[in-house]
Amino acid sequence: MIDNKAFSVTSHPFFSIGITTYNRKYLLKQTLHSLQKQSFTDFEVIIGNDYLEEPLTLAMLEIEDVRFRIINNQHNLGEAENMNSMLRMAKGYYFTWQADDDLCSPVLLREVRSAIDKFDNPHVVFTSFKNIYGTGYCKFESGLNIESFLYTGKEFLRRYLSGKLKALGCWGFYDINYLQALGGMQKLTSGSIAIYSEYLLLCKTGLLPKVGYINSPLETFRVHNNSWSSTSCAYNLYMEAGINLIKECIQLFSTKELIQDFNENLSSIFKSIISSFILRSWMKNKGINGDEISKFSYLLKNEVGLLEDAKLYEGAMKNLNNAFRKTRLYVIKARLRVFLPENDLNLARRLMSTFSRFTNKSF
């Protein structure tokens, strides 16, 4: 058993981990305890508390470990600025964010450090993850066949956007100098939640020469009743974030490094933001609102219309129109993805695949 009281923080720990939190003390404890169990111990944890009504202490979280510190914000920063504030305070060589309701395998940091050494210090290393449901603690499997791979940024991005691998942008372990030079999380909405910010951060890795990837689910994404991503009906913020994401991605995918995959990558982004927007609108209105969909379509077409290259414009507009034609199917998929456990989701996918063959429609 590791005696966490015995640790001291070096002037430059290898990893810095930033955790944003807002009124989730019970789940935050689980997250922090999963980090305390790490077999690789050279790290620091910075907790940015944005819940002004209750300042936190380590004692309240049952943590007695000098590697952990809490920043009780004096005013509400919002998610993106809270994340960037912790990035500015970090002292490590590699930095990652964690959510205050998710968990880490005990070997997470060990395997990421191993990949960093194996691939000669890539700018970022991602791991796969698994969904968990509810507020209970999750045990990670032992004895996993853990493999790590090295991709160019272009290869990694194409694999990610085509669904061949799973990753989340904010959970990547970034060279801190690279991440600070980017400015950390870029805010895409006027709201307090950083919608699509981590998605944009991940897309930017497409420009990197080396991206490491670990194929095993060493982290979790928790779905529960108090999860903003599962319950929010703020479709207007998803519209705003989606438009801004498309604007950024059109510029990004037009670069010489990524232009070969322009249509495929942009098509994947269209599908993601349209399905999310339709789901939020559906949750808010208890049905599909055609006027809102038309408005979103109009605004996205305006962004595509700024493309000067005729071939890129034609391909982007075709992909956008195709995405909106499949609106109702995106609603079904999005609801299943959010609300069904993995076994039921796999069954639903098989049923939809069978239905697709009979109707000559693709999902």
What topology does CATH give the domain 4-225?
Answer: Spore Coat Polysaccharide Biosynthesis Protein SpsA; Chain A (3.90.550)
Which residues is 175 bridged to in the sheet?
94
Q: What angle do CA 233, 277, 154 make, to 5 degrees?
A: 130
- Give the pLDDT mean for 47-75: 97
Q: What is the pLDDT of residue 275?
A: 84
- Specify the range with the lowest mean pLDDT, choosing from 24-33, 222-231, 309-318: 222-231
Q: What is the pLDDT of residue 297?
A: 93
Model confidence at 5: pLDDT above 70: no
Query: For the chain, what are the domain ranges?
Result: 4-225, 232-359
With b for 16 or more beta-carbon neighbours within 10 A and e for fewer, the 242-256 pattern comes to: bbbbbbbbbebbeee
Rounded to whole angstroms, what are the CA distances from 4 to 42, 66, 103, 118, 198?
11, 8, 18, 28, 31
Model confidence at 236: pLDDT above 60: yes
- Give the pLDDT mean for 245-262: 97
Can you read off the two tokens belonging to residue 79? 């998610």
| Assessment of whether the complete model's pTM goes beyond 0.85 | yes
Model confidence at 98: pLDDT above 70: yes
- Give the pLDDT mean for 28-32: 96
Rounded Cα gap, residues 302 and 240, in angstroms: 13
CB 239 within 8 A of CB 300: no
Rounded Cα gap, residues 215 and 311, in angstroms: 36
Model confidence at 223: pLDDT above 50: yes
Rounded to whole angstroms, what are the CA distances from 26 to 136, 177, 180, 203?
10, 33, 31, 33
CB 132 within 8 A of CB 223: yes
User: Is residue 267 left, alpha or beta, with left meaning phi > 0 and alpha meaning psi from -120 to 50?
Assistant: alpha
Model confidence at 227: pLDDT above 90: no
Q: Which of 126-140, 224-238, 274-288, 349-363 has the highest mean pLDDT?
A: 126-140
Residue-by-residue DSSP string for 10-42: -SS-SEEEEEEESS-HHHHHHHHHHHHT-S---
Strand 43-49 and strand 15-21: the pairing is parallel
Model confidence at 6: pLDDT above 90: no
- Give the pLDDT mean for 281-302: 86
Give me the sheet containing 43-49, strands edge to edge: 68-72, 43-49, 15-21, 94-99, 173-175, 124-133, 211-223, 148-151
Q: What is the pLDDT of residue 100?
A: 95
Q: What whole-number percentage of the chain has pLDDT above 90? A: 71
pLDDT single digits (tens) 123-180:
999 999 999 988 888 888 887 789 999 999 999 999 999 999 999 999 999 999 999 9
Q: What is the pLDDT of residue 87?
A: 98
